[in-house]
A and B are shown apart, each in its own frame.
Chain A
Amino acid sequence: MTDKISIISSKTFSKRTATKNAVEKSMNIIFLICGLAAVICVVCMTVYMLVSGAPAISKIGVFKFLFGQIWSPENSQFGILPMIISSFIATFSAIFIALPIGVLVAVFLAKLIPGKLSTALRMLIDLLAGIPSVVYGLLGAILIVPAIFKLQTAAGLPTGGSLLAAVIILIIMILPTIISVSETAIRSVPKQYEDASLALGSTKLQSIFKVTVPAAKSGIVAGMVLGVGRAIGEAMAVMMVAGNAAIMPEFLKPVRLLTASIPIEWAYSSGLHREALYGIGLVLFVFIMIINISLNTVLKKGGDVRG
Chain B
Amino acid sequence: MKKITVPRSWRIWLLVAVLITATLFAGYGETVSPSGGNTSNNESEGGNSTTEVLSGVVKTGGSTSVEKVMLALIYQFQEDNGDVTVDYEGNGSGDGIVNTISGLYEIGHSSRELKTDGSEDGLDVTAYAIDGIAVVVNKDNGVDNLTKEQIFGIYTGEITNWSEVGGNNAPIAVITRESGSGTRSAIADIIGLEKKDDDSTKIIDTASEANNTGAVQTQVSVNPDAIGYMSFSDVDPAKVNTVNYEGVEISENSLKDGTYKLMREFLLLTKTGSALSPAAQAFMNFVMSDNGQQIVTDNKLLPIN
A→B interface (CB under 8 Å): 70, 72-76, 141-142, 145-146, 149, 153, 156-161, 239-240, 243-247, 253-254, 256, 263-274
Contact = CB atoms under 8 A, between A and B. Distances in A.
Contacts, number: 123
Contact of B175 (A73, A160, A247): A160
Nearest to B92: A267
Nearest to A138: B218
Nearest to B184: A268
B179 A273 contact: yes
B194 A74 contact: yes
19 contacts: A72-B201, A74-B201, A141-B219, A156-B171, A158-B160, A159-B170, A159-B173, A159-B226, A160-B208, A160-B219, A244-B208, A244-B209, A247-B205, A254-B206, A264-B209, A267-B64, A267-B180, A270-B98, A270-B115
B53 interface: no
A264 B178 contact: yes
Contacts of A73: 179-180
Contacts of B120: 270-271
A141 B218 contact: yes
Given A72-B201, A270-B97, A271-B119, A161 B219 contact: yes
Given A153-B170, A265-B180, A270-B119, A158 B225 contact: yes
A265 B179 CA distance: 7
Residue of B64, B199, B211, B226 contacting most chain A CB atoms (<10 Å)? B211
A142 B217 CA distance: 12
A268 B171 contact: no
Contacts of B215: 240
Interface string B23-63: 00000000000000000000000000000000000000000
Nearest to A70: B205
The 3 closest A-B pairs by CB, nearest first: A267-B92, A268-B180, A243-B208
Residue of B91, B95, B173, B225 contacting most chain A CB atoms (<10 Å)? B173
Contact of A270 (B174, B180, B210, B222): B180
Contact of A146 (B119, B179, B201, B222): B222
B178 A265 contact: yes
Given A156-B171, A274-B94, A264 B201 contact: no
Interface in B231-276: none
A265 to B, nearest CB: 5
Contacts of B208: 160-161, 243-245, 254
B207 A159 contact: no
Contacts of B160: 158
B18 to A, nearest CB: 16
Residue of A75, A267, A268 contacting most chain B CB atoms (<10 Å)? A268
A253 B98 CA distance: 35
B207 to A, nearest CB: 6
A256 B170 CA distance: 24
B182 A149 contact: no
B172 interface: yes
